[in-house]
């Protein structure tokens, strides 16, 4: 079994970095492969010393440095610390196809200095932490501020637990999703605070059995399913449970968004025990997302907006919901378009069409 366990103590190892379009640079990218420092990757030898040596070179070299942990090998590593501060102005760590990777960021933080990137919309802005094709992943006690783009991205992973994460970027920072999940299964996100300029958590195509528990979101765009079906593609998300979460000063709360012209499904999605504080669109389903001819007309008194394209959204259940305006005495409403399901104990009251069971 492949085992790679890393305990991180990080002190600002990503320094201010302007996009290539804005600043010309002659910096050379230096790469440091753990194999070159004596790592065997045979699943038997202790490769801890080689990892530490490779990190010291990566951290201590001026310019842009990349630490490479190659795939198709089995590394045995004890608890090691990748310490800063570093001489490098930018550090990349390439890790993919790794099983049992554990990252504990207790005592440290990562500052992405994103403000130097946000004004350049055409720049290929980086994500702070990206995990690809990893199994049995654990990431905990990590603090990230001011990412150039998404803070954490999980792609094609299975069995991951992300806990005690603190993400803090301005509410007006563009496309700075907190945690993006793609094509992944059995992902648990819990006990975390996410403040960002886009979705606190976005769950996208190919993802299933995703659980978000005890998440404090805000500012941000809420916890979103999608968007799905862009460019006419077939995309799916299933078995998502968001429970015991709070949304404060967000544009959205519980959100599902799909693009017109696409196909697929989003099913078995639940939001339970949700607390809302000054949320513009507490509950929203938008099946016209991204359309230039969108039929979505949002007003701030619509606490629930279910805008589904024909034939509609089915098997919707609204129960034990109580949403009131943050302005005392101002009424709130529910808007439904092609929505089918069941409504009980819900304020504002919603009128659903007869529900045709779709499995």
Distance (Å, whole) CA 63 – CA 40? 28
Select which of 198, 199, 205, 286 is catalytic: 198
* Residue 231 three-state SS: helix
In sequence order, what DSSP letters do the residues of 52-84 get, joined into one string? Answer: HHHHHHHHHSSEEEEEEE-SS-EEE--S-EEE-
Torsion over CA: 180, 182, 184, 186 (sign):
positive
Select which of 177, 221, 286, 340 is catalytic: 221
Active site residue 198: yes
By the 10 Å C-beta count (0-12 exposed, 13-18 middle, 19+ buried), 293 is classed as exposed
Angle at 347 between CA 342 and CA 353, to 5 degrees: 30
Total count of residues recorded for the chain: 359
Active site residue 347: no
What is residue 309's DSSP assignment?
-
Q: Report the half-sphere exposure of 208 (CA within 13 A, side-chain side).
A: 7
Helix (H) or strand (E) holding 50: helix 48-60
Distance (Å, whole) CA 303 – CA 155? 33
The two tokens of residue 54 are: 């490779």
* Residue 4 three-state SS: strand
Distance (Å, whole) CA 252 – CA 237? 19
Distance (Å, whole) CA 167 – CA 105? 13
Q: Which residues are known catalytic residues?
A: 198, 221
């Amino acid at each position: 079994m492949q085992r790679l366990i890393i305990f991180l103590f990080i002190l600002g190892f990503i320094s201010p970095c302007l996009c290539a379009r804005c600043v010309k640079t002659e910096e050379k990218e230096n790469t440091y492969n753990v194999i070159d420092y004596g790592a065997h990757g045979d699943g038997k030898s202790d490769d801890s010393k080689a990892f530490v040596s490779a990190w010291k070179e990566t951290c201590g070299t001026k310019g842009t440095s990349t630490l490479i942990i190659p795939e198709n090998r089995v590394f045995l590593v004890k608890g090691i610390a990748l310490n800063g501060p570093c001489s490098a102005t930018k550090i990349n760590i390439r890790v993919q196809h790794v099983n049992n990777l554990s990252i504990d960021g207790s005592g440290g933080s990562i500052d992405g200095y994103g403000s130097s990137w946000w004004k350049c919309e055409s720049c290929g802005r980086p994500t702070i932490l990206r995990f690809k094709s990893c199994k049995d992943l654990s990431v905990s006690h990590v603090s990230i501020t001011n990412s150039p783009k998404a803070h954490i991205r999980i792609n094609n992973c299975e069995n991951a637990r992300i806990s005690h994460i603190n993400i803090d970027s301005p509410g007006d920072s563009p496309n700075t999703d907190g945690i993006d999940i793609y094509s992944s299964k059995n992902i648990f996100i819990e006990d975390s605070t996410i403040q960002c300029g886009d979705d606190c958590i976005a769950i996208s195509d190919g993802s299933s059995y995703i659980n978000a528990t005890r998440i404090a979101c805000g500012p941000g765009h809420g916890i979103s399913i999608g968007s799905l079906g862009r460019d006419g593609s077939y995309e799916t998300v299933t078995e998502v449970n968001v429970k015991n979460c709070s949304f404060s000063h967000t544009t959205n709360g519980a959100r599902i968004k799909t693009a017109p012209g696409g196909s697929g499904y989003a099913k078995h999605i639940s939001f339970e025990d949700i607390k809302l504080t000054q949320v513009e669109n507490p509950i929203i389903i938008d099946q016209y997302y991204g359309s230039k001819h969108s039929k979505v007309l949002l007003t701030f008194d619509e606490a629930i907006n279910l805008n589904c394209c024909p034939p509609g959204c089915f098997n919707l259940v609204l129960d034990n919901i109580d949403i009131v305006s943050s302005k005392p005495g101002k009424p709130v409403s529910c808007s439904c378009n092609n929505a089918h399901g069941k409504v009980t104990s819900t304020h504002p009251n919603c009128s659903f069409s007869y529900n045709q069971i779709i499995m």
